[in-house]
Amino acid sequence: MPVLPFQTSGPCEDDQTLCEWTDRATGNDRLAELADIVIGKPLTIGLLVLGALLLRWVLHRLVDRVVHRAEAGMVPDRVARAAMTTSARLGRSAESSPRDLAARTRRVQRAKTMGSLLKSIISGVVLAIVTTMILSELGVNIAPIIASAGILGLALGFGAQTLVKDFLSGIFMLVEDQYGVGDVVDLGEASGTVEAVSLRVTRLRDLNGTVWYVRNGEILRVGNMSQNWARAVLDVTVTYDTDLVRVRRVLAEVLRGIWEDDDFRGRVIEEPEEPGVEAMTVDGIVVRVTLKTAPMEQWSVARTLRERIKARFDHEGIVMPHTRYVEWASEVRDEDEADPRS
């Protein structure tokens, strides 16, 4: 049987090109094996490492481009457009409000967090693949390694279900933008201002200064009080003999004063709604007033509203229900001391 021109029957295997070339050139089997060990395998490993670094760089560049687009914002904010339209109609300047700045900061933070997560995943996958290929190049049988990795991953999956649940919940929380650093949230068992967000836990500080660490997998509901916009709601109670038309007029003037106040420009983002009767209780008639505000501004606006409503009611002579305590015990004691028959 004729021998093919480039067929070798020496120590070289089919995929050892350098070994075959050296064996054909020199006819020395030991030199061919040595060339493959000294030059061939290191060269192959170097090419694998170089290819892995190049692939990682390209993928990271793609992630950076996606993150940059996400930071710029792909979909305009309807609330921001409505606020700008209202401001333009009323002759206000269309400057960026604190709400817009907070929304941009939030978007940038979320995009950078997702970019960092994607880069970590890409680096881990590329490293695992290249390491397996290098071991195979060194002659290590990688079939048991792959099988062991599968079994180990299955065991870790069963043994660390809570950890996996926390990580998955953290990923979906970041993707869906449920909350971010600086938001005031209610997580059920704990509520307060979010100080840090990771894939496993969320750290927030309540009004008393207590720091709470909540695992993401244990969060069943999220009440975000500072996302996009907020509303200051204030219930004012007046007596039943009060003229409601006059009360509503006074409250509307107070609301209009805050809306036109330069100190609240950017904090109150829509014209105030007309006050109306909310309920009639044993204490009196409840009139509700509302103001749409920028995130995190509803509490300060509500405090200012209370102060101005109280001052205006005092000026207008409008009485709010209140409890009076009469001091009579000391008078009775004085009368008993003056009575000689006691």
Place of tokens 């002659």: 139
Residue 299 CB: number of other CB atoms within 10 A? 13
* Region 178-200 average pLDDT: 84
Domain chopping of the chain, boundaries: 47-159, 184-224, 230-316
Tell me the pLDDT tens digit for each residue of 13-39. Answer: 555 555 555 555 565 556 555 555 555
Q: pLDDT grade, residue 7 (50/70/90)?
A: very low
Write the burial class of residue 36 (CB in 10 Å: 0-12 exposed, 13-18 middle, 19+ buried): buried
What's residue 73's pLDDT? 54
Q: pLDDT grade, residue 5 (50/70/90)?
A: very low
3-state percent helix, strand, coil for the chain, nearest multiple of 5: 55, 15, 30
CA nearest neighbour of 237 among 299, 316, 161, 321:
321
Asked if pLDDT for residue 8 goes beyond 50, the answer is: no
230-316 CATH fold: Alpha-Beta Plaits (3.30.70)
Instruction: Please give the structure tokens belonging to residue 111.
Output: 């995009």
The pTM assigned to this predicted structure is 0.54
DSSP code per residue over 185-225:
EE-SS-EEEEEEE-SSEEEEE-TTS-EEEEEGGG----EES
> 111 versus 291: which is more confidently predicted?
291
Domain at 184-224, CATH class: mainly beta
Q: Which long-range contacts (CB under 8 A, 24 or more apart) does 311-318 make?
A: 312/250, 312/253, 312/254, 313/250, 316/246, 316/250, 318/238, 318/242, 318/246, 318/247, 318/250
Q: Specify the range with the lowest mean pLDDT, choosing from 60-69, 158-167, 202-211.
A: 158-167
What is the C-alpha separation between 182 and 144, in angstroms, rounded? 49
Asked if pLDDT for residue 332 goes beyond 60, the answer is: no
For residue 262, give the DSSP letter.
Answer: G
Tell me the pLDDT tens digit for each residue of 121-173. Answer: 888 888 888 888 888 777 777 777 777 777 777 766 666 677 778 888 887 88
**184-224 and 230-316 in the same fold:** no
Over the Cα atoms of the chain, what is R_g?
Answer: 37
Q: Which run of H or E residues covers position 122?
A: helix 98-137
Q: Which run of H or E residues covers position 249?
A: helix 244-260
Which 3 state secondary structure label does DSSP give 323? coil
Q: Are 116 and 198 spatial neighbours (Cβ–Cβ below 8 Å)?
A: no
What's residue 156's pLDDT? 67
CA nearest neighbour of 258 among 302, 314, 320:
302
**Average pLDDT, whole number, for the chain?**
76
Asked if pLDDT for residue 188 goes beyond 80, the answer is: yes
Instruction: Please give the structure tokens belonging to residue 110.
Output: 């979320």
What's residue 254's pLDDT? 92
